[in-house]
Structure 1
Amino acid sequence: MPWTTQGPDTPSYNVILTLEHMHLIPRRWEIFTLGESGGTLSVNSLGFAGMLMVKSESELQALEQEKIGTVLRGVGVESVHELQVAVLVWDLVKGWSVMQLGLI
């Protein structure tokens, strides 16, 4: 389970700058706990660019078992798109159509 000093309701932001783009990536947690090993992994902006730093071979093995996507989902903020799809599916299950919601 990840933890932070910020709290789950106050995300911090990771910033990645290129010559053409600026990416602001909200992060709910800074630290991710790696599965069974219990080791912790700090995730910064470079982590969201696919570069995570491990300090030992055992951390590397734990990260390979955990998978990078799991780590990033564990520290990141849930996708707004996923929330929109979840609400739409929930509404459709209740019997409302997309047209009634004014989405089409």
Structure 2
Amino acid sequence: MKSQRPVIEDDEHRVLKFRPRTQAKPPGREARQNDVRPEPNDLSRYERSREEPDEFRHRMLANMAAFAFTVALTAIGIWLAMSIADLRKTQDCVLMGRRDCAHISSPRS
């Protein structure tokens, strides 16, 4: 049996030379002599003065609201997972051809 090899032409394989960037600006912009760079953004604009009191009450309320939201989201996720598992179990039972799949609760007398 003859082995088939792809035909490789020299045009397909080229070695490109790496040219490091030497210009500080993109080639489309001309360098100006009075080009002033803006100062880097610092975090001083977000600082509060020491004279303003911390709002501990507001912070605690926000933390409690975030905690309540997290607990509610977790409870909803657990309920949803349990409902999907129960639905899957009932569906598997029905697909096996059984007739007593539905869980019927009877009131106690």
TM-score, normalised by the number of residues in structure 2: 0.25
Q: Which structure shows the bigger proportion of residues in helix conformation? A: 2
Whose relative contact order is higher, 1 or 2, with alpha carbons under 8 Å and at least 6 apart?
Answer: 1
Q: Which structure shows the bigger proportion of residues in strand conformation? A: 1
Q: Which has the larger Rg? A: 2
TM-score, normalised by the number of residues in structure 1: 0.26
